[in-house]
Amino acid sequence: MTRSFTVTARDPVSSARTGVLETAHGAVETPAFMPVASQGSVKGLTHAVLEELGVGIILVNAYHLFLRPGADAVAALGGVHRFISWPKPVLSDSGGFQIFSMSPLVKVFEEGVRFASHLDGTKIFLTPEDAVDVQAKLGTDIGMCLDYFPPYPATETTMREAVERTGRWAARAKRRHETRESPQQLWGISQGGVYPDLRARGIETLMEIGFDGYAYGGLGLGEPKSQLFEVLEKGDPLLPRDRPRYLMGMGYIEDIYEAVERGVDLFDCVLPTRNARNGTLFTSRGRISIKNVKYAADPGPLDEACSCYTCRTFSRAYLRHLFERGEIASAILNTIHNLHFYLDNFRRIRQSIQSNSFSLLKKSIRSESGDSKEETT
């Protein structure tokens, strides 16, 4: 296994760290945020805008690309980077989450999972080996193991079975991955919900198998935040310090600060992009809903503290008008702002860790904004 991750700075008073994640398509500075491009496109934005915003890595979804246009089709077109014309790192989710959350008629066997396509009901059987093969065909820089998780909340017995099965599937995925000469990395996903012992068992099993990176899966499904943070706190000393850690699908900024403090390096979430399309915007003073009538005659920028194209150029009144008229430009301009807001927070997080001031930054974010404060409409 080639060394693909280097820690470059550590916060003296917490587990926060900066690092460089090397991939076949370049390096990513961590902590990093991956905008979600499920179908190979960050909704509303061209890749040129992503580059301008400083996006270092995106996430595509193997489940969606496997259904349409198909992994073989993407491979025939030169792999995902060439197919979507994105030269930088790409991580693919294995599809486990989509199968267990979106597909009807899911049935799990030791061999794999049978489900019906959410598009047309076609029955599909997917094994952990298939998930590796699909991602190899896509040619992403980082592939994820197929994991199994039960719906939240799960009993301890159900969760134990899920952890054990996820471990066995991870071992099979690793064996399949090793049959290929490829620069693609394979990362393991731990399950265990918020049961500390099961989560620890899940992590230990993955580490015995050995992966390029380790993800926390099955979180952010409605469990209390205190329990989620406890999982990260207990996972931190268990996980190898020289491998990247990825918290899957979690994305309120205030939670991201908590996770970074507990040693997490990589994040993805649909929140900034999906909320942008719904007219919910993250600002330095909390979340706002641009459709609020009070913005109808407001000539000010969306966020005085933001330097993005949207805030530099347009008024709240215009952004509200675009949203109310259902203009495509509304989704575009709102997404530019929300992604800039996220990426800017990650830049500040990295800088603060490097200058030993992460805890100060975290405190200032909590008191000045934050994310917890939501405007009522």
**Least separation in angstroms between CB 302 and Zn ion:** 6
- The footprint of Zn ion (CB under 5 A) covers 306, 308, 310-311, 337
Q: Tokens for 107? A: 């049935």
Return the sign of the alpha-carbon dihedral for residues 159, 154, 173, 55.
Answer: negative
**Least separation in angstroms between CB 319 and Zn ion:** 10
Instruction: Go through 272-295 and write b for each residue having 16 or more CB atoms within 10 A of its CB, e for each that does not.
Output: bbebbbebbbbbeeebbbbbeeeb
List 11, 141, 268, 371, catalytic entry = 268
**Least separation in angstroms between CB 358 and Zn ion:** 24
Nearer to Zn ion, 114 or 277 (CB): 277
Q: Tokens for 303? A: 């966020």
**Least separation in angstroms between CB 272 and Zn ion:** 11
Nearer to Zn ion, 50 or 306 (CB): 306
Nearer to Zn ion, 256 or 308 (CB): 308
134, 63 Cβ separation under 8 angstroms: no
Q: In what order do the strands lie in the sheet with 26-30?
A: 5-10, 17-23, 26-30
Nearer to Zn ion, 172 or 337 (CB): 337
Closest by CA to 61, choosing from 249, 260, 250, 188, is 249
Nearer to Zn ion, 170 or 288 (CB): 288
Closest by CA to 346, choosing from 7, 19, 15, 6, is 19
List 11, 93, 265, 371, catalytic entry = 93
304, with CB counted inside 10 A (0-12, 13-18, 19+), is exposed
**Least separation in angstroms between CB 322 and Zn ion:** 15
The answer to whether residue 268 is catalytic is yes
Catalytic residue list: 93, 268
